[in-house]
Amino acid sequence: MTRTMQRRAMRARRRTAMWKDAWRAIRGNGRRFAAMLVIVAVGVMMLGGLNTVGRDIRAGLDEFFDGTAMHDISIVSTLGFDDDDVAALRKVDGVADAAGERSASVTTRIDGKSASATVTELNDRGIDSPYVSDGRLPNAAREIAVTRQYLDDAGKKIGDTLEFSPDDSLTSTAAVATSATDADAASDASGDATDSSTTTGTFADGEYTIVGEIIDPNDIVNPNGPLALVSGGKTVYPMVVSSDSLAEADTADAPYTSVVVTADGAAAMNTYDDDYLNTVADVRAAIEAIQSTREQARTDAVRDAALDKAMAALDAQRAQIDALPDGLPAKTAAEAKLADAETAVRERVSAMPEAKWIIRDRSAVTSWQDVKTQSDMVMRLGTMFPILFLVIALLVSLTAVTRMVEEDRGLIGTYKALGYTRRETMLKYLVYSGAACLFGGLLGDALGLIGLPFVFTRRLISRIYVLPGYPLLVDWRLAVGGVLLFVVVITGAAAAACSGSLRLEPAELMRPKAPKAGRTIVLQRIGFVWNHLSFLGKVTARNLFRYKSRALMVIIGVLGCTALMTAGFGMGGSALTLMPRQFSEIAQYDVMAVTSAADHDQAQHDLDDDADVEATLPVHLESATLSVAGTSGDGDDGDTSGASGTSGDGTADTKLTVQLIVVPDDASLDGWLDLHTVDGEPIALASTSDGDSGRPAAIVTANAADTFSLKAGDTVTAVDAMMDSADVTVLGVAQYYTGNVMVMTASAYRDAFGTSDAGTSGTGSDDDALQLNADYIKVKGDADAQIAFADRLASQDAYLSVTSAARQMRDFSKSFLIFFVMIGFIVVMAAVLAIVVLYTLASTNISERERELATIKVLGFRRREVHGYVNKEMLLLASIGIAVGLPCGRGLLGLLLGRLDLPGMNIVPNVAWYCYVAAAALALAFTVVVELATNRSLDRIDMVGALKSPE
């Protein structure tokens, strides 16, 4: 055998010996190994689990949307759509398909009370096809499919019948405009006072047979779940029918109320991924390119149709007049009246509103945005917290491996004397730490990628949403990457811990390490303190300064755990203060009730006569979309929460839908809305336009201002529901905790949007009158009385939504259920972390000081005195860690909430005193528990064995 082969064989034997020694080290140091394994498992579980839960929620909605062929873009128009519009959209580059839809608001009866519903015609292209939970979709006249909520509320089942009638107060703009023009023309021509403006419903009235139970893809919130409990909106039941159920008259010419569009290749992408958003943005840009042309074509078609019908009526009148004998004074007067009527018809037709498209992508769908918010919250927590666990795992592994190396000094010296290289000697400790990371990582992956998602999606998320299922996605990049992250960091720490000893000579390593020389500590120089300490107190103080590195590790470990628990409790407390702050500091009304403009006068009269009402403030509410120059290519209503998309050229496209509150000029917000800056300085509304810029002015709340980095004096573009756009000067940024709001006076509103649309009087007789449609209400009585009053209003047909401040404060925590569950999970993990860290450090402390502890036992220290000798140090170090960890937890909370970025939520960091107490008490309790567990190790110290000479 050659020398080279002998060296190879020798190296192979040495490696085999070191592998065996490594596995013996795992068995012999099982507690340290278990501690490292547990911490790695927890860190990997949080990293993979929370991110996987968020992805599973999104994937569940994506699969549901794909299964129902959910639209990628929807378009509504103020004058509806015809077949030419739909055909033009199908030809747009990037459009896979487009379908026109007809829908109508109807009224039905549930338990003898009037209830609102929306009936939609199933289109022939299969887009937005509802998910069938039971039964089937309608395929004949007088068949209808409804949701489970309707079946439960109405006490019906498949096979039963229901009836509905048109909701006359919510007819389409096109129908109202056309019929009004026809009626006025005919009336002016003939003098007939008959009301010709009555419109028939879109769908045939009468009985419908329920043939299926469906889930509406536009609203997947469980009506009996936590998110629905705080909703102030009136329940509107979705229903679908086939085209055979359209009303018989002029069904072929009836305009579509909306058009739904799908994009090429979008179904194969996740609805939240950037590639999907970019694809849809490109298609949207292409649709916007034909928007003005189609709007003008639709406007001309509606006006021509209205003019043709009106002129036909006038021609009929002209034929009657021509039949009269010549020379009659009545004929001359009739001809003059007919000429005036013809002029009036032309003027009225030319004054008809123009068609305006409102283009929305899926971000306008409540379900899409709600799932995005919830999943973002979970995934951000899953990204931030594992970093803390990685730091703690590094600390524990460094302590464990360092102690192992100290215990193995003699063995390492022997290995070096026998010719083992540094790499071969280090292999034992790398295998030890790497195995802990690998097994812990695999356990963490199993729990995080399978266990946690199963529990959260099946037990928790299923209570929030009515999705039929959730896929269990395993992101192997995340699974492998999380384990590799811990392996690299911790084995690197192990290598660093070994390198110092491996640089020493074998003879030095095989001799016992000399104890540190005693030094005078700072406390000894403070005589009035030192002299009053007991003997054990002085020993404890000297030991703390003697073992500085171990003391520092205990402090850091307890500090991290305390900070984590403080931040967790503080996060929950901060969220719970949102509604109390909102309704005590900002919104000082008890109930907000919204009606249609047509119903407001009667509703206001009833409120004025109601004995339970203390005061009211009528206002105008509507939805508006904000954008800032450079962030948006247009002013459409495309986003409900400030989500950022990408336009066709890849530039940022940020929009934010806000609630626009318009206050009458003669009204004051004092006692209703306290608008002030974050610093508490009041902000006054401007009654007209801003004097410096000449633009209308408004107050913007902090949530909306943060989206665009707005400050007082800046300009923001606002687009109202009728697609009218205006540049508005920001009067000030007001503190606001829930929601995105812009407030302006009626004068500023008229300057911004004019008076020709929804901002004008409902009667049209007074162009300067503000169309009021909501009331802030103060109610007599306590919280229960206010909730009962709100429920009473909500049961009335006139109200579209009723929001009770008392109910919002009482039930808000239920809408944040997943948030609080996440916090509870994090606190539990912090508790596990604290126990593992403290146990590891305490057991290491005892192992390092066996000879010292054996000595004091030989000197006659009793069992309790030995316990106190060690435990006092741990308690003191833990107390220092707790004292430093509490303010650090407050800082961590601010960092976490700043990164959480919940749309429409301004969670201000707020750590109540009981949060500090709870975190400190738990950290102290964990310390005591660990001490009780390690006391058994103190009792089992072999005095003779520990005191034997190493030689």
Per-residue confidence band for 240, with pLDDT thresholds at 50, 70 and 90: very high
> What CA–CA distances, in Å, run from 41 to 328, 484, 770, 829, 926?
103, 12, 62, 11, 20
Q: What is the pLDDT of residue 758?
A: 40
Least confident of 472-476, 516-520, 524-528, 615-619: 516-520
Q: What is the pLDDT of residue 25?
A: 78
- The model's pLDDT over 1-50, given as tens digits with 9 standing for 90+, comes to 577 777 777 777 777 777 787 788 787 777 778 888 888 888 888 888 87
Q: What is the pLDDT of residue 774?
A: 92
Extract the runs of DSSP E, i.e. beta strands, from 148-204.
161-166
Q: What is the pLDDT of residue 764?
A: 35
Instruction: Give me the residue spans of the domains in the chain.
Output: 105-173+196-250, 597-772
* Buried/exposed 335-345: b ≥16 CB within 10 Å, e otherwise: eebbeebbebb
- The model's pLDDT over 709-761, given as tens digits with 9 standing for 90+, comes to 888 888 888 888 777 788 888 888 998 888 788 999 998 888 888 754 443 33
Residue of higher predicted confidence among 449 and 177 = 449
What would the DSSP string read from start to end of 410-472?
A: HHHHHHHHTT--HHHHHHHHHHHHHHHHHHHHHHHHHIIIIIHHHHIIIIIIHHHB--S----
Q: What is the pLDDT of residue 398?
A: 76
- The model's pLDDT over 678-707, given as tens digits with 9 standing for 90+, comes to 888 888 887 665 555 568 889 998 888 887
Give yes or no for residue 645 having a pLDDT over 60.
no
The tokens describing 293, both together, are 């042309």
Per-residue confidence band for 882, with pLDDT thresholds at 50, 70 and 90: very high
Distance CA 425, CA 427 (A): 5
Per-residue confidence band for 835, with pLDDT thresholds at 50, 70 and 90: confident
Closest to 561 in 3D by CA, of 380, 825, 828, 911: 828
Q: What is the pLDDT of residue 420?
A: 80
Mean pLDDT of 405-424: 81
> What CA–CA distances, in Å, run from 831 to 389, 535, 550, 936?
12, 34, 21, 22
Q: What is the amino acid identity at position 922? A: L
Give yes or no for residue 438 having a pLDDT over 60.
yes
CA atoms within 13 A on the CB side of 793: 32
Give yes or no for residue 167 having a pLDDT over 70.
no
What is the chain's length? 951
Distance CA 424, CA 411 (A): 13
- The model's pLDDT over 785-803, given as tens digits with 9 standing for 90+, comes to 998 998 888 888 788 888 8
Per-residue confidence band for 234, with pLDDT thresholds at 50, 70 and 90: low
- The model's pLDDT over 283-293, given as tens digits with 9 standing for 90+, comes to 999 999 999 99
N- to C-terminal Cα separation, the chain: 40
- Decide: residue 771, CB within 10 A, 0-12 exposed, 13-18 middle, 19+ buried: buried
Residue of higher predicted confidence among 193 and 715 = 715
What would the DSSP string read from start to end of 792-859?
A: HHHTSTTEEEEEEHHHHHHHHHHHTHHHHHHHHHHHHHHHHHHHHHHHHHHHHHHHHTHHHHHHHHHT
Per-residue confidence band for 408, with pLDDT thresholds at 50, 70 and 90: confident
Give yes or no for residue 363 having a pLDDT over 80.
yes
Mean pLDDT of 901-925: 84
Q: What is the pLDDT of residue 629?
A: 67
Mean pLDDT of 321-325: 80
Mean pLDDT of 554-578: 84
Per-residue confidence band for 517, with pLDDT thresholds at 50, 70 and 90: low
The tokens describing 845, both together, are 């402390």
Distance CA 897, CA 876 (A): 32
Least confident of 30-34, 173-177, 224-228, 405-409: 173-177
Per-residue confidence band for 248, with pLDDT thresholds at 50, 70 and 90: low
Mean pLDDT of 493-501: 80
Alpha helices in 193-238 (DSSP H): 226-229
Q: What is the pLDDT of residue 74?
A: 93
Q: What is the pLDDT of residue 903?
A: 62
Per-residue confidence band for 145, with pLDDT thresholds at 50, 70 and 90: very high
Give yes or no for residue 237 having a pLDDT over 70.
yes
Mean pLDDT of 794-822: 78
Mean pLDDT of 328-353: 83
Distance CA 427, CA 435 (A): 12
Q: What is the amino acid identity at position 910? A: N
- The model's pLDDT over 776-788, given as tens digits with 9 standing for 90+, comes to 999 998 888 998 9
> What CA–CA distances, in Å, run from 502 to 411, 413, 898, 935?
11, 8, 46, 34
Separation of CA 266 from chain center: 23
Mean pLDDT of 321-328: 78
Distance CA 468, CA 64 (A): 8
Q: What is the pLDDT of residue 200?
A: 54
Give yes or no for residue 228 having a pLDDT over 70.
no
- The angle formed by the CA atoms of residues 917, 922 and 926, to the nearest 5 degrees, is 150
Q: What is the pLDDT of residue 195?
A: 36
Mean pLDDT of 586-609: 89
Q: What is the pLDDT of residue 684?
A: 85
Residues in contact with 922: Cβ distance below 8 Å, sequence separation at least 6, in sequence order: 565, 831, 834
Mean pLDDT of the chain: 80
Least confident of 405-414, 536-545, 595-604, 870-879: 536-545
Residues in contact with 368: Cβ distance below 8 Å, sequence separation at least 6, in sequence order: 61, 271, 362
